[in-house]
Amino acid sequence: MGRTLEKLESIRQGELSAVDNVWRALENIEKLDKKINSFIELNPNAVAEAEAVHRRLQKGEKVGRLAGLVIGVKSNINVTGLRATCASRTLDNYVSTYDADVVKRVRAEGGIVIGVNNMDEFACGSSGETSAFGPTDNPAAPGHIPGGSSSGGGAAIAAGLCDLCLGTDTGGSIRNPASHCGVVGVKPTYGLVPRQGLIDLGMSLDQIGPIAPDVVGAAMLLETIAGKTQNECVMFDVDQVEYLDRLGDGVKGMKVGVSPKFRELTDPAVMGVIDRSVDKLRDLGAEIVDVQLPNLERGLTAYYLIVSVEFFSGTRKFDGRRYGKKIEDVCGDEVLRRILRGRYISQKEYRGKFYQRALQVRTLVKQELMAALEKVDVIVGPTVPKLPHRFGAKLTPMEMYAYDYLTIPTNLAGICGGVVKAGEVGGIPVGLQVQGKVLGEPDMFRVMHVLEATA
């Protein structure tokens, strides 16, 4: 049945009360999170909120689809009364004044926000090491990075500290920690989920999405947060989405794309795990089709130019005058690096030398992915080209950015991408990425569900 449905069922049947579920989570966090460091702050009202859900269940009143589940929220998403620090000293005293739309939707369905998850500072990182509140450990491979930037969410789910998490993904920030921590993570199609209430890294690339212990949990959470709202204008005109009803349809007759480019960019040990999963899909009746993505890797540096310009623009409000501290005075190296790069590009942007050129490369990567997805239903491949490094290893910025080679193109094209555990190399999880068409989440979830069942 899977962890999420089992938990929901036992809460609905009264075998586990919503209040006990919250207390268990708090006890586990108290016991385990000193070492993992996946939470920055806990919600002091979580037990009271669970009591309200419990009372409704006892009275036989209608409850939402997430009733009693314990949810962690990344620290760049506003939750009323909790600090939205983005794991930075810039905003270490900033208390959210409102709930982001996604948080309102989670609460409306009975989800209990247990606290705020740790992350790379301002989502600028792929390792979980750059938080001002200290690094997050990987419960699935202790001593190794959990990936980032949604490091706390990935680690909290892997350690069983909460039921579901909300992360954000600009260039792989949900999928990368999902892969390293052996859990499920989804970057929805750009424009499917409202970003209102998100403190952005790159406004043309960011999406909020689920991190979960299983595919059902990710699908349920995405069903909850997706759909248009009047608070967000950069959205598809989509009211409601349904994924669960088609999850069990299998992959027979589906066309699944694989690209030789993935092998060029990926550690052979990681690729071996992915190859075995592709074989499973073939055995289950999927047609495996080669697709060409010749310029895939060129997306990496184009992305870092685009995101730096958007980040530079987005952070000009952190001037320390209205709230918080001036960002350049207190931020870490990677945040400063992106601000300086963004400033430099903005100053030197004459005759379309850098930013406009990067937007053209974005067009190229998008065109290639769209052409490939016309031939197939989904594209499968590795999520991260290498295994997570151990804490203490010194990587240059370019070596660190290389973690994102395979996840960035999904954001540049605005398509959806989901990650499910495919296997392990030396005890370290390896996640398989399923990329789907624009609003192609139903097919993406079907493939993920099949792979999860056969893992």
Partner 1 sequence: MAEKLKEIERSAQEVIDSFVEAAKDLPELKETYYSQETFNVVRPDGEPAPEKERTEFRKRFISNMPGSDDKGNLRVEVARWVER
Kindly identify the residues of this chain, within the stretch 37-96, that bind partner 1 according to CB under 8 A: 80-81, 93-96
Nearest Cα to 221, choosing from 4, 423, 384, 45? Answer: 4
Q: Which of 149, 179, 277, 308 is catalytic?
A: 149
Q: What is the largest CA-CA distance in the chain?
A: 67
Residue 312, interface with partner 1 (CB under 8 A)?
no
438 — phi, psi (to 5°)? -60, 125
With contacts defined by CB under 8 A, name the span among 49-57, 105-113, 321-329, 380-388 that binds partner 1: 321-329
With contacts defined by CB under 8 A, name the span among 5-13, 63-71, 234-242, 444-452 that binds partner 1: 234-242
Q: Collect all residues with Cβ–Cβ distance below 8 Å to 453 and sequence separation of at least 6.
A: none
> Minimum distance between the CB of residue 218 and partner 1, rounded to whole angstroms?
21
Residue 295, interface with partner 1 (CB under 8 A)?
yes
> Minimum distance between the CB of residue 394 and partner 1, rounded to whole angstroms?
13
Q: Which of 17, 38, 150, 173 is catalytic?
A: 173
C-alpha 435/C-alpha 374 separation (Å) is: 13
Nearer to partner 1, 71 or 91 (CB): 91
- CA dist list (Å): 208 to 7, 78, 281, 440: 24, 12, 28, 16
How many residues touch partner 1 under the rule CB under 8 A: the total is 61
Q: Is 422 helix (H, G, I), strand (E, B) or coil?
A: strand
DSSP 255-277: EEEE-HHHHHHS-HHHHHHHHHH
| Residues in the chain, total | 455
User: Binding residue for partner 1 (CB under 8 A) from 108, 231, 264, 454?
Assistant: 231
With contacts defined by CB under 8 A, name the span among 5-13, 30-38, 132-140, 231-239 that binds partner 1: 231-239
DSSP secondary structure letter of residue 60: T
User: One-letter amino acid identity for 301?
Assistant: T
Residue 358, interface with partner 1 (CB under 8 A)?
yes
Give the torsion sign (CA, 397, 361, 358, 127): negative
> Minimum distance between the CB of residue 247 and partner 1, rounded to whole angstroms?
26
Nearer to partner 1, 13 or 347 (CB): 347
- CA dist list (Å): 172 to 144, 206, 258: 18, 10, 19
With contacts defined by CB under 8 A, name the span among 33-41, 215-223, 413-421, 429-437 that binds partner 1: 413-421
User: Binding residue for partner 1 (CB under 8 A) from 233, 240, 245, 350?
Assistant: 233
Give the torsion sign (CA, 18, 24, 30, 35): negative
Q: Residue 213: count other Cβ atoms within 10 Å of its Cβ.
A: 21
Q: What positions carry a catalytic annotation?
A: 74, 149, 173
Residues forming contacts to partner 1 in the complex (CB under 8 A) are 80-81, 93-98, 190-191, 204, 228, 230-231, 233-237, 295, 297-298, 301-302, 304-305, 308, 320-324, 333, 336-338, 340-341, 344-345, 354, 356-364, 366-367, 396-398, 401, 412-415, 438
